[in-house]
Chains A and B, each alone.
Chain A
């Protein structure tokens, strides 16, 4: 666990910056909600149906319904995705780019151990940020009295965690293949952004319905997780992506030369 601990310590500044961002945004968003909750339905009526659909707003006018659109659909995955890409692209790649990895892999440490501990340092970092989101939601619930039940909070945290780990795993896999931070981050970001775009397109253009099957965003929040919990099939798909990315990455990392 030494490599894992060291990686988390090494990334502490990034974890802190994103945590402050998450706390600030969540408090700000729910403060705004307390100001506009009574007129939320009138406000929504000002927008065309397609825009509301793309933004993730449904018929539920509760706090959880608002959070599903404003928080879970866009900003939540944006923050957790950006964090996962940042950590996933650097945790392994930057060691190889900076050549600090040579000294460690020339010790009696297996590549599998190195790869796995680095990976789980990313997973734990994402878990930490997801918990920060959940805890902040709970604190806001207490402060603003906005009727968020515990299951809403747990579902939101878990969904963001699973989404973050999925994006992070794809980024980490890219890093283990290309050993280049910029390339890994680019691929991770592309998967996340394209997923969001495809999710928006299939909702508004019926002939493009097939796009949803190649959108991470669809599997992440099509079931409006904060309101309804996870769709088992969607959760399995995300878990398959996570495990496949991990094992392919591990296989490649074990088979290739370390960049010199």
Chain B
């Protein structure tokens, strides 16, 4: 009798999961609601889209070559010929910004995906398994979070050495711990829910419970965390590159452009301030979008 009831609960949950089209509609509804109620989030999404398009079509959009030197026109201020001015080698800053956005956006997205995957997997494992696994993962997270992020990133960069891949790895290792904490607490509360208990009673295997019942319920939180962690990764990379410890030439990220421009701060301030402003704009846009998504997808996160 009790078993029957449990089976019903699991089936009801599965039906809800299987009606993916219904779920998708609901997600679409949520997005439409955000579009109506939160203009700022929509404008931000548009800004992010523009940046992505700029990065993808950089070769088509760039008015000049991004690498060709032109010593006759070095350090010329923003104006008609060069919209955003030229740098110390006479290269067009707008073109360099477009190419640099490829690195800066990748550095925001790739490590964030990696750190979210790592954090979500460890967080779910810790919350679901409990016991010594939980203790181990959480103490590890405590250790990672105790070190100020900039110094942690510096130590990891020192260990791994230069290179774009190593920047990705460093940022992933710096950010997984906070994701793991949030996902763990969510898993703990989901674990106690009726349908998970029911699934366990009728003998659904643990990995299946994790993937089919717990992970889908963590997704809204993960989406919000993703939008809020991308700008954090962009800021950390730009700080590392600003110190000369992140992306190295000939790769160019916005942070590196600020670093190089610093030597010309007083006679050609646009060298540093143009890429700085781009970083600020993209970070601001992601923060607004993240806030908007949080309000419709996962209002509980607001208190964290």
Specify whether A and B are partners.
Answer: no
Chain A residues with CB under 8 Å of chain B are none
Chain B residues with CB under 8 Å of chain A are none
